[in-house]
Structure 1
Amino acid sequence: MMKLFRMLKPYRIPIFFILGLVLLQSLAELYLPTLMADIVNDGIVKGNVPYIWQIGGWMLVIAIAGTACSVTASYLSSRTAGGFAKKLRSRVFRHVENFSLQEFDKLGTASLITRTTNDITQVQNVLTMMLRMMVMAPMMCIGGIFMAVSQDAKLSTIFLVVLPVLAGAIALIGAKGLPLFKQIQKKLDRLNLVLREQLTGIRVVRAFNRGEHERARFNGANTDLRDVSIKVNVLMATLMPVMMLVMNFSMIAILYFGGQRIDSGNMNIGSLIAFIQYAMQIMFSLIMVSIIFVMIPRASASAERINEVLDMQPDLSNPEQPRSMSALQGTIEFDNVTFRYPGAENAALSGISFTARPGETTAIIGGTGSGKSTLLSLIPRFYDVTEGSVRLNGTDVRELRQEDLRAKIGFVPQKAVLFTGTIAENIRHGKDDATMEEIVRAAQTAQAENFITEMKDGYDSIIAQGGNNVSGGQKQRLSIARALVRRPEVYIFDDSFSALDFKTDAKLRAAMKSETTEAAVLIVAQRVSTVMDADRILVMDEGRIVGSGTHKELLEHNEVYREIVSSQLTEEEIA
């Protein structure tokens, strides 16, 4: 946790004022019992009413000053902890943005969400308390002991028994609580994962009547979290009764031995009252420490999880000295590329070599699991090649800044992804400064103009979360429009026409030809009708290119392609 607290350097001045205000508040509270003792001993006992008013006035002034210090310190500590949490969340978010798909697979989306929200909130809460209590608790404890000794040193020997008992109880319960708090965060990760899968896959759950199964999964994760939470709360709940028990026995001992010292004339009544108040302050300072000990184990577990994210270095990084690209606009070259997923025994791609040039459409077709989408993911560096190289405009993509590389690419993923906002905003994701004319042109080319204009607010119509208020085909067309508005040097369509009917598919590809005359176009498709007009078709099988040529050439000479074609087209259509 201390590693995270290094980010508090910009808040040094507010922290200095917080600590100073808390110190003044503590001094005020420590001085009040002494004034009360003076009122009793020199005012009430002697019947000196003016003295009572005089000291009582001072007590009121000091109490008001202490309250003002407390309120101001609370305000500053809340602002400081809130600013720290905001900065930490931003840092985690920016760091996660640089992760490759491998890091996402390793940590899990649900866990990353928990770490960015719940875990940082835990650290924020304990920081808020520490800013107040890390000065107040020691000050009240040490100062209370000193002031109690000044009232009666002999009676103060009671603390030699009480304090070690309380400190031992706090340390023991804190040590046992830390592993349980770590378990709670892991159980919370699991609960978030199950809930996220159930909500995002609600259509599948209902379609296959798996509601009961999903309820059982959720109840299992929920029960695990409940059991660990109960266990840790029971453990922590024992702390307060133990402290109150010790405190009450301490009060009995103080009253008993204090009464004896008053009877013997060695102690005044006012001094005993002040001593009792100091004893309460000492006890309550230890209760403050116990509260911190309750929160610190959970915050420590959360801090470890946050640091795990921040310490994880992305496999993909920008080169120290990025290279500039040559004038070969929109040329993609695969040079004997081999790729293997982390931990996999067999390569997903082997010996891939081809060149996609500007103005050409290169289509990739093959059976499920043949490596088509994997091949495309190497171009924008979602993964890095294991062997060989992928070059854009003659430069290895690993030697380019990721931002510069992806600025040259218009990518349409296999699963169309839309964001909450208007249709225009979603298309503008491809180009921040796109004009309305450019947006409309991209939508027209993507064959999305008709359904957009039929919507109530046209391009200002709101897209719901995940694009749930539009159909699969409409989502794909908006995703295609988002890539087209960018007018990049390379277009990548990863099975992006699968939800379109044959007529819309044909019209879209025809409209795209005039828009992509100066760009390289790579299309992954399952349908022969989508790829048959391409300038070059690459046939893939088990991670290798087993055929390359036009539709006619492959139909004559490539057995794998013929099998794919014959499974989709009739003899008349093939002829």
Structure 2
Amino acid sequence: MGRVLIYLRPYGKWMALAWLFMLTELIIELWQPLLMGKIIDDGVMKQDVAAIFTWGAVMLGASLLAFASGIANSFAAAYVGQEYGFALRTALFAKIQSFSLARIEQLSPASLVTRMTNDVTQVQNMLFMSLRIALRAPLLVVFGVAMAFVVHARLALVLAVAVPLSAVFLLWVVQKAAASFSAVQRALDRVNGVMRENLAGMRLIKAWMRKEYEEERFAAANDALMERTMSVLRLVETITPVLLIVMNTAIVAVLLFGRHHIEAGTASAGQVVAVINYATRTTAALSMFTFITMAFSRPRASAARLAELLEAPGERHGA
């Protein structure tokens, strides 16, 4: 992975800027449930309209700042991703030009095309996700639970149980998916290889009337790609339903315990709403891990294939 990411060095300032905007958006998002609790306790419960408008205006201003930070973060992340993809493809093309014909045939032209196109795109997507939500989502989960403890420690204990259970399940899926995506990339190489051989030998295929044989050969490679892709997607798609079950159960538990604490006078309505809001935001952040898993599992295999190509010794052209 390090051999592939070395081309990010010229864009360090843009990456730092993207993370700065992301952290700004995150801080505001973590602050908003506290503002919502203030509106309920100081405004709604005390029937103070002035307090509702004051805290509501603060919340609106913070939301606008978070919106602007999110847009700036997306722009910086997209810029780094596209520039990095350009630099990586340039380096790969230069490396391929240094290979001999024998070396190119050994690596398989179909595999080289896949690495120059699909694999680079997968790594670009991973980079964009890293700068946009891959770091923001886990930080939101960790600090969301921490802020819930600041609001009301006893109610936050429910989240302290539900979140680790979800995290263990996510790690298991990521490990399984990483190995599966390597098989998907090999199957894609096979499809590209069959297509290239078919197009290169079209005259011979028509002359020897091998149309049916070639169709069967392509169908076999295509079916293998489809089956392997569907298998890994089924695994990844289990993330969201499982997370929703666990976290929605946690939210129901917070509501039940919150009612008890309100009646006992050990919690205010605003505190219960704030903890539920943190639980909801944590659930949304955990749900993002479906996309993050997709964005990281497959590119890990792609990055390994690109590093293999970049680390291959260059040769002079020859037989």
Q: Please say if residues 173 and 236 of structure 1, whose CA atoms lie closer than 8 Å, have aligned partners that are also in contact.
A: yes
Q: CA deviation at 1:287?
A: 2.7
C-alpha root-mean-square deviation of aligned residues, in Å? 1.3
Tell me what 1:364 maps to.
none
Counterpart residue number, 2:141 = 141
- Deviations for 1:15-72, whole angstroms, at most 9, x for unmatched residues? 1111110000001111111111101001011111011111111111100000000011
**Matching residue's letter, 2:318:** F
- Tell me how far apart the structure 1 counterparts of residues 80 and 267 of structure 2 sit (CA, whole Å): 46
Which AA in structure 2 matches 1:243?
L
Q: What is the match of residue 382 of structure 1?
A: 318
Q: Does 1:230 align with 2:230?
A: yes
CA distance in 2, matches of 1:22, 1:78: 13
Distance 1:71 1:191 in 2: 38
Unaligned runs of 5+ in 2: none
1:168 paired with 2:168, answer: yes
The corresponding residue for 2:244 is: 244
Look up the match of 1:304.
Answer: 304
1:120 and 2:120 aligned: yes
Q: Is the 8 A contact 1:103 1:314 kept in 2?
A: no
- On the 8 A contact 2:236/2:290 being kept in 1, the answer is no
Bigger shift: residues 101-110 or 18-27: 101-110
- 2:12 corresponds in structure 1 to 12
TM-score (norm 2): 0.97
Q: What displacement does 1:290 show? A: 4.3
The one-letter code sitting in structure 2 at the alignment partner of 1:17 is L
1:345 is matched with none
Structure 2 counterpart of 1:497:
none
Q: How far is the alpha carbon of 1:296 from its aligned partner?
A: 1.2
| CA–CA distance in structure 1, aligned partners of residues 203 and 313 of structure 2 | 36
Tell me, what secondary structure is at the counterpart of 2:153? coil
Between the aligned partners of 1:2 and 1:277, the Cα distance in structure 2 is: 39
Aligned-partner Cα distance in 2 for 1:104–1:4: 20
TM-superposed CA distance for 1:288, in Å, is 2.9
Residues 501-523 of structure 1 deviation map (CA, whole Å, 9 limit, x = unaligned): xxxxxxxxxxxxxxxxxxxxxxx
Are 2:81 and 2:125, in contact at CA under 8 Å, matched by a contact in 1?
A: yes
The structure with the larger Rg is: 1
Any residues of structure 2 matched to 1:74-153 within 5 Å, and which?
74-153=74-153
Report if aligned partners of 1:24, 1:69 keep a CA contact under 8 Å in 2: yes
**Counterparts of 1:168 and 1:96 in 2: how far apart (Å)?**
41
Are the aligned partners of 2:98 and 2:314 in contact in 1 as well (CA < 8 Å)?
yes
When residues 268 and 290 of structure 1 are mapped into structure 2, their CA distance, relative to the original with a 3 A threshold, is same
Residue 215 in 1 paired to residue 151 in 2?
no
**Counterpart contact for 2:239–2:287, Cα < 8 Å:** no
1:154 counterpart SS class: helix
Name the SS for the 2:318 alignment partner.
coil
SS at match of 1:52: helix
**Aligned AA for 1:114?**
T
Q: 1:192 corresponds to which residue?
A: 192
Secondary structure (helix, strand or coil) at the match of 2:313 reads: coil
> Higher strand fraction: Structure 1 or Structure 2?
1
Whole-Å Cα distance in 2 between the matches of residues 158 and 36 of structure 1? Answer: 21
Distance 1:134 1:229, change over 3 A: closer
Shift of 1:314: 2.5
* 1:314 partnered with 2:314: yes
Confirm or deny: 8 A CA contact 1:23 1:135 kept in the other structure: no
Once the two structures are superposed, what CA deviation does each residue of 1:312-347 show, in whole Å capped at 9, x if it has no partner? 10243xxxxxxxxxxxxxxxxxxxxxxxxxxxxxxx
Residue 71 of structure 1 corresponds to: 71
For residues 68 and 5 of structure 1, the distance between their equivalents in structure 2, rounded to whole angstroms, comes to 29
Give the percent of matched residue pairs that are identical in Structure 1 and Structure 2.
33
Q: Is the 8 A contact 1:14 1:76 kept in 2?
A: yes
- Determine the C-alpha separation between the residues in 2 that align with 1:249 and 1:98: 58
- CA gap 1:161/1:146 in 2 versus in 1, 3 angstroms: closer
1:22 aligns with 2:15: no
Contact 1:114–1:189 (8 Å) recurs in 2: yes
Shift of 1:135: 3.3
| Mapping 1:311-460, distance limit 5 Å | 311-316=311-316, 382-383=318-319
Query: Is the counterpart of residue 286 in structure 1 residue 294 in structure 2?
Result: no
- Higher RCO, 1 or 2 (CA under 8 Å, sep at least 6)? 2
- Residue 141 of structure 1: CA displacement? 1.8
Residue deviations 1:233-279 (CA, integer Å, cap 9, x gap): 11111111111111111111111111111111111111111111111
User: CA distance change for structure 1 residues 143 and 160 in 2, over 3 Å: closer, same or farther?
Assistant: closer
Residue-pair matches, total: 319
